[in-house]
Copies of this chain bind each other. A is one copy, B any other.
Amino acid sequence: MLIVQKYGGTSVGNIDRMKNVAARCLATQRQGHQVALVVSAMSGETNRLLELTRQLQEDPNDREVDVIISTGEQVSVGLIALAIRAAGGKARSFLGHQCKIVTDSSFSRARIVSIESAPIKEALDAGEIAVIAGFQGVDEKGSITTLGRGGSDTTGVAIAAALAADVCEIYTDVDGVYTTDPNMVPTARKIDRISYEEMLELASLGAKVLQIRSVELGMKYGVKIHVRSSFSDVEGTWVVPEDAAMEKVVVSGVTVAKDEAKITCEDLPDISGVAGRLFAPLADGGISVDMIVQNQAYDGTTDLTFTVPKGDRKRTVEILKDKVPELVGKDGERVSYDDEICKVSVVGVGMRSHAGVAKTMFQLLAAENINIQLISTSEIKISCVIARKYAELAVRALHEGFGLSLPPSERVGL
């Protein structure tokens, strides 16, 4: 088999852990497999480098920041290659520009366009372990780019796709994807198998195990992803195409996101095009809007409520206070916001064939006297915005209520 192993920052966080990575990939190779590694920067290194840039400029130039922070992975690949050699193996490091991980020029959040797999295959065929820098690429002009937080996951899956690898193992400091955050709910269970679609929703909704883009790529190229711990040998979570067994599970996971703020515009004229006119300047400002709800009032006015990333809240309110008077002929006092919210969500491909999940969710929250402020649904998820202080209570209630602390086979008759 050809196996891609991606190791995160904590898995290569110090010299001893690097030796552990070397031992693990050599053990895999000795079982007769070809092994390509993708590695992150040592934990803390990217933040250390970012801190240096911020001492110079509050909003530093993205191209130069990428030059600087990509060194974290560069040091890691060199050290891991040395660790493998020290353990008696053969290894060769590859940087983004050496196996031509070509991306667009969106510095700090670039997307991979192509990968030249030939140099990596050459190394593998020579019996070497290829040690590839995660997170980084080069644009067409040869400038260094980075893929955004968690970008090494994406490098891992992209390399697996380019090499047509049999599996992409994502090694991290937890032993898989859980039904919810185990720090919040002690009865959270590790999920054995999950579909790309569910994983995509979970990642979008705040579960931080995999970068969303890596799941998208896995789905697009059919890469089997195995999320597991670098500190143990137990099986982790397989992220794979949906199958019949998965549909029997109505709810796979519960998530909570605390990084959004709620914005409300009241008393807008209820005429066509109002929402479009309000959201156009936000889109121009690069602010992504989530969970839009419009209420129609009786007096010909309407309220519009939506959420934005908390970091964009201040700018959103400023832009709207500029625009709302044009629309309603009044001052901007009608724009209000609430930072003290959270979004709890339940996800599961089984929802497609099971009615009543929404009803159950609302009942479970109501039973705890939690008021629902906003609701949005997709085919496989339901999200509710609630007051932030109820976050933990809501997650626990939903986790128990949907039977997620039981093994999937026992969650009958929901």
Partner of A55, one of B15, B53, B143: B15
CA A14 to CA B258, docked complex, whole Å: 37
Asked whether any CB of chain B lies closer than 8 Å to the CB of A78, the reply is yes
A74-B68 in contact (CB<8A): yes
Asked whether any CB of chain B lies closer than 8 Å to the CB of A75, the reply is yes
A413 to chain B, nearest CB (A): 56
Inter-chain contacts of A142 with B (CB < 8 A): 97-98
Partner of A85, one of B61, B68, B71: B61
A345 to chain B, nearest CB (A): 39
Asked whether any CB of chain B lies closer than 8 Å to the CB of A144, the reply is yes
Asked whether any CB of chain B lies closer than 8 Å to the CB of A81, the reply is yes
B81-A61 in contact (CB<8A): yes
Inter-chain contacts of A98 with B (CB < 8 A): 142-143
A119 to chain B, nearest CB (A): 8
Partner of A75, one of B19, B49, B78, B93: B49
Asked whether any CB of chain B lies closer than 8 Å to the CB of A223, the reply is no
B95-A144 in contact (CB<8A): yes
The chain B residue sitting closest to A142, CB to CB, is B98
Partner of A64, one of B49, B61, B78: B78
Q: What count of chain A residues pass the 8 Å CB interface test?
A: 37
Considering only residues 49-83 of chain A, those with a C-beta below 8 Å from chain B are 49, 52-53, 55-57, 60-61, 63-65, 67-68, 70-71, 74-75, 77-79, 81-83
CA A315 to CA B196, docked complex, whole Å: 60
A286 to chain B, nearest CB (A): 21
Encode contact with B along A218-231: 1 for CB under 8 Å, 0 otherwise: 00000000000000
A127 to chain B, nearest CB (A): 16
B95-A82 in contact (CB<8A): no
Q: Is the interface of A mostly helix, strand, loop or mixed?
A: helix
CA A95 to CA B57, docked complex, whole Å: 21
CA A83 to CA B82, docked complex, whole Å: 34
CA A83 to CA B61, docked complex, whole Å: 10
A93-B81 in contact (CB<8A): no
A180 to chain B, nearest CB (A): 38
Inter-chain contacts of A143 with B (CB < 8 A): 98
Encode contact with B along A78-113: 1 for CB under 8 Å, 0 otherwise: 110111011000011101011000000000000000
Considering only residues 328-361 of chain A, those with a C-beta below 8 Å from chain B are none
CA A70 to CA B56, docked complex, whole Å: 22
A74-B77 in contact (CB<8A): no
Inter-chain contacts of A92 with B (CB < 8 A): 63
A78 to chain B, nearest CB (A): 4
Q: A71-B71, A85-B61, A143-B98 are in contact. Are A78 and B53 (CB under 8 A)?
A: yes
A177 to chain B, nearest CB (A): 32
B67-A78 in contact (CB<8A): yes
Inter-chain contacts of A160 with B (CB < 8 A): none
Which residue of A15, A18, A98 has the most chain B CB atoms within 10 A of its CB atom? A98
A52-B75 in contact (CB<8A): yes
12 inter-chain pairs at a CB distance below 8 angstroms, sorted by A residue, are A18-B56, A53-B82, A56-B83, A61-B81, A61-B82, A61-B85, A63-B92, A64-B82, A74-B74, A97-B97, A98-B142, A98-B143
Measuring CB to CB, which residues of chain A are less than 8 angstroms from any residue of chain B? 15, 18-19, 49, 52-53, 55-57, 60-61, 63-65, 67-68, 70-71, 74-75, 77-79, 81-83, 85-86, 91-93, 95, 97-98, 142-144
